[in-house]
Amino acid sequence: MPIERDIIGPPNVRGVCPMGVFDHPDFDQHDSLHYIQDSDSGLKAIIAIHSTALGPAAGGCRYWQYASDDDALTDALRLSRGMSYKNAVADLPFGGGKAVILASDDVPRSPELFRAFGRAVASLDGRYITAEDVGCSVDDMRYVREETEFVSGLPQSGNDAGGELSGEQQSILENAEISVVAVGGDGIVRQRAPQVH
């Protein structure tokens, strides 16, 4: 069965992307790449889905002011690939994905911006599950949640997404420790990397 390759939108979110997406050094057989622009809220974002081989792509949403569009693309591609491996090593039923919202001094951070991002996530019909990441707050994710059910990591009450570890979270930590041991101090990998494609 062929992997769906779906690039939506222009390859330049702001300005000109100096290279083609498929020639980008960090493009690694990603399932799909989505460029989102909402003129009403000012949202400009990229959602990169690296793999859905193990389940829907899961990974946080980063709100960051990038020096260039290519830097934002690079971040989304690298981070989504990293999430594929993190979820596979932790033996979770998720693939890897990541979203980056291109912050700008010209566009104020607003509930409308995050609601627009929520609509973009909803349009992917469950292929990507987002969460809080660098630059995003629990409140931001609550605005996203108003538009889509595909948000994880929100607290049951209050503003703290932390608390006691669930069994799944404990498994992630244990697998991360095993992975660190597998690499070892000399940098030699003693365990085969998980297959994500």
Instruction: Indicate which residues carry an active-site annotation.
Output: 98
CA distance 51 to 31: 6
Q: How far apart are CA 40 and CA 104, in angstroms?
A: 15
**Closest to 77 (Cα-Cα) out of 93, 61, 55, 99:** 99
Angle at 160 between CA 158 and CA 163, to 5 degrees: 115
**Could you tell me whether strands 128-129 and 57-58 are parallel, antiparallel, or unpaired per DSSP bridges?**
parallel
Distance CA 146, CA 119 (A): 9
Contact 196, 84 (CB under 8 A): yes
User: Identity (one letter) of the amino acid at 147?
Assistant: E
Measured between alpha carbons, how far is 63 from 100 in angstroms, rounded to an integer? 6
- Beta strand 95-102 pairing with 61-64: parallel
Cα 101 from Cα 17, distance rounded (Å): 16
